[in-house]
Amino acid sequence: MRSHWIEHKGKKIFYQDFSGHLYNSEAVKQELAEVQAVVVKQPRNSVRVLADFRDTHITSDLMPLMNAASAMTKDHVYKTAVLGVTGIKRTLADLLTRLTGQPLKYFDDPEAAKNWLVED
């Protein structure tokens, strides 16, 4: 698993690293299953998530899995910042938000994303 916990300004953030997989949906599926297992073990409404999709294409076979993972982890997530989601990926992410009710905030800059995540 490439994803891991980081600390920013004294608060824990779960960095979900889906970056650099280009069209490798199998690698994304594996990472998704592993991060889902970590998140559901955390207290409700406690996880600050930084999801990095830079240089990864979200294919149609991934959308149902991402919807299911988001629905399953939603109650454990406090805030989610997303990197690398533009164009058609943004449209798909907006659809995911509507389907699951889990709000996402999009960023181009990792530092800005981390700063937003630790604001309360």
Whole-angstrom Cα Rg for the chain: 13
pTM for the whole thing?
0.89
The residue range of the domain holding 101 is 4-118
**Residues 61-76 pLDDT 10s:** 888 898 889 889 999 9
**Residues 22-55 pLDDT 10s:** 989 999 999 999 999 999 999 999 999 999 999 9
Count of domains forming the chain: 1
Strand partners, 80: 49
Q: How far is CA 37 from CA 33, 41, 76, 104, 108, in A?
A: 6, 7, 11, 20, 27
* Domain containing residue 61: CATH number: 3.30.750
For residues 82 and 93, is the Cβ–Cβ distance under 8 A?
Answer: yes
- Average pLDDT value over all residues in the chain: 90
Residues contacting 12, CB < 8 A, separation 6+: 5, 6, 48
Count helices and strands in the chain by DSSP H and E runs? 4, 5
Cα–Cα dist 116/120, whole Å: 9
Selection from 78, 10, 14 nearest residue 46 by Cα: 78
Cite the beta strand spans of 53-93 per DSSP E. Answer: 77-83
